[in-house]
Structure 1
Amino acid sequence: MGSRPVKKSLQEYARGLAGGLLFSFPLLYTMEVWWHGFIADPAQLLVMVVVTYLLLLAYNKYAGVHDEATWKHIAVDSMEEMGIGFTISFGMLLILNRISISSLTFVDISKIIVEAMIVSIGVSIGTAQLGAGSSGGSHKEERSRSTREGVAALALCGAVVVAGSVAPTMEIFLLAVEAQPTHVFFMALVSIALSVMIVFFSDFRGAAHRPPGSKTYNMVFDTCLSFLIGLGASAFMLWFFGRFEDVTFYVCFAQVITLGVLASVGASAGRLLIK
């Protein structure tokens, strides 16, 4: 976005709008996300806004479509993507009769903020993903996948996009409460196995772009990175949606591992598929 021709900026806004809806529609229709507007406090909302903005900065730095962009442009683009996210969320919640202009309350604003932060990530990915390819974009894609920072940024985005639509639901809590230690153990093993399969044996687009070093080292490092990022993203989303309140440590742990199956797949596949 930034200081570019009007036509090009409008095209990117259109891609961002499409991406925000495409990647975030399930959450716009999820009751648990609406309910969180009733219980979210200002501190939680502020943390979510800050974390989302930092995630957008990282994504646009390592996977944005403009290889020549400076940090100033990246910061502006990230802010614009959040603005589009707010616009989409406000419009959709209004259309779905979840908020009312005539009686806008703090709860309604909380709903908009929660939805907007998730939609913003979809906007950012849509802006980069839905655009026409270019040699510069290909160069940046290869470079982002050859640095540890780039890999981590893309993995985190993938984890949030894939697991974000499930994190607010009660199904994760139910599965965790009913899971025996053996179930949790095997879920962790499956997460690791899927990470290895996706990154090293699936021949996904971009799988060939790996940092230099021995294959064994890369396999261990990349698998651990995807798994830990998936667990970290899962823990943050579950905390934000109040899934750690008034439950035992085991239930918290089981929830993280349960959601981590999806998040680690998103971290592994996302860093190869999103550019």
Structure 2
Amino acid sequence: MTRTGSIELARGIGRAVAGSLLFALPLLMTMEFWRLAHSVERYRLALLVVAAVALVIGLSRAFGAGPGGVGVRGYLADAGVAIVTAAVAATVVLTALGVVDPLMDWRAAVSVVAIETLPAAVGASYARSQLGEGSRRPRITGYGHELFLMTAGAVVFAANIAPTEEVVLLAAEAGTVSIAVLAVLSLLLMHGFVYGVGFGGQERSTNGFVRSFLTLTVVGYAIALIVSAFLLWTFGRFDGIGLATAIDETVVLAFPGSIGAAAARLIL
């Protein structure tokens, strides 16, 4: 690797560290996340890690990141750098805070770092690809790309709230009418953010209101619901409760998830 390539790689890793902390620092300092890391079943934690890896690979494929970001090997390498950097950054911060001790109890440290990797790795990938000088814009376009962006945005926003007790409390206190109103509000805010209020990156509804609403906003909200349900299940929030309560919790968490999905379409 040339000296210029080495410098660019180092700067890309620096951006990845900054991005991982920007996205994950609130979770790194959230007690519920530390506790969940020790109580979540190993297979659920493994599924979360697999989902995080798949999401970061998808982001690298969509945007590219480092000097080798073109082609299968390039975007897999970019994703690997983002994930490893995020894991190292999370380990350093959690060790400095006294949450984990990798030398004395490496098993517990691995569990906590693994559960923190999802938002950190997404932040690292985003910062490497989009925040650098001359960063490449998306090479992939189309309906599938839009849905993927909404998935990424929903994951980032929902993952920051899913571990907290507030989701359970809000769902328990909300009635059927409140849950229905929250679902409608989520849809209206999603559509308004993307098409109505004049944010930078705002899109035009070229296919008409009804078609855009049904094919993007409604589908995007469905994605937010699926992401929210997966995260709540992963963190054990569905254990021992009925279907109605699980739906209420999912709708509550999908509120920030839907905002994240809309924000991703504007920003990315």
Q: Same fold (TM over 0.5)?
A: yes
Change (3 A) 1:220 1:101: closer
Cα deviation digits, residues 11-67 of structure 1 (max 9, x gap)? 110111000001111000000100012112221122111111111111122233479
Counterparts of 1:215 and 1:62, CA distance in 2: 27
Contact preservation (8 Å) 2:225, 2:251:
yes
Deviation at 1:148, TM superposition (A): 1.3
Counterparts of 1:245 and 1:117, CA distance in 2: 22
Counterparts of 1:209 and 1:124, CA distance in 2: 28
Which of these residues, 167, 172, 187, is aligned with residue 167 of structure 2?
A: 172
- Alignment-derived partner of residue 102 in structure 2: 101
- Partner-residue secondary structure (3-state), 2:59: helix
TM-score w.r.t. length of structure 2: 0.92
- Alignment-derived partner of residue 18 in structure 1: 18
Contact preservation (8 Å) 1:63, 1:154:
no
Matches within 5 A, 1:259-274: 259-273=253-267
- Alignment-derived partner of residue 81 in structure 2: 80
Contact preservation (8 Å) 2:16, 2:128:
yes
Amino acid at match of 2:34: W
- Alignment-derived partner of residue 217 in structure 1: 211
> How many residues in Structure 1 have an aligned counterpart in Structure 2?
264
Counterparts of 1:61 and 1:46, CA distance in 2: 23
Counterparts of 1:37 and 1:68, CA distance in 2: 33
Change (3 A) 1:24 1:176: same
Matches within 5 A, 1:54-65: 54-65=54-65
Contact preservation (8 Å) 1:88, 1:116:
no
Deviation at 1:248, TM superposition (A): 1.4
Matches within 5 A, 1:107-122: 107-122=108-123
Amino acid at match of 1:44: R
- Partner-residue secondary structure (3-state), 1:132: coil
- Partner-residue secondary structure (3-state), 1:99: coil
Which of these residues, 146, 150, 158, is aligned with residue 155 of structure 1?
A: 150
Matched, 1:253 2:247: yes
Counterparts of 1:209 and 1:73, CA distance in 2: 33
Amino acid at match of 1:227: Y
Q: What is the root-mean-square deviation in Å for CA atoms of aligned residues?
A: 2.0
Matched, 1:7 2:1: no
Counterparts of 1:45 and 1:88, CA distance in 2: 19
Greater CA drift, 119-128 or 253-262:
119-128
Change (3 A) 1:207 1:133: farther
- Alignment-derived partner of residue 224 in structure 2: 230
Deviation at 1:132, TM superposition (A): 2.2
Deviation at 1:105, TM superposition (A): 4.4
- Alignment-derived partner of residue 194 in structure 1: 189
Greater CA drift, 125-134 or 33-42:
125-134
Cα deviation digits, residues 67-92 of structure 1 (max 9, x gap)? 96112211121122111111011111
Q: Which sections of structure 1, spanning at least 5 residues, go unmatched?
A: none
- Alignment-derived partner of residue 182 in structure 1: 177
Counterparts of 2:7 and 2:115, CA distance in 1: 31
Counterparts of 1:37 and 1:245, CA distance in 2: 16
Counterparts of 2:208 and 2:236, CA distance in 1: 42
Counterparts of 1:270 and 1:238, CA distance in 2: 21
- Partner-residue secondary structure (3-state), 1:257: helix
- Partner-residue secondary structure (3-state), 2:227: helix
Cα deviation digits, residues 146-173 of structure 1 (max 9, x gap)? 4112111211111111222111100000
- Alignment-derived partner of residue 34 in structure 1: 34
Identity of aligned residues (%): 27
Deviation at 1:204, TM superposition (A): 2.7
Counterparts of 1:194 and 1:202, CA distance in 2: 10
Counterparts of 2:183 and 2:252, CA distance in 1: 8
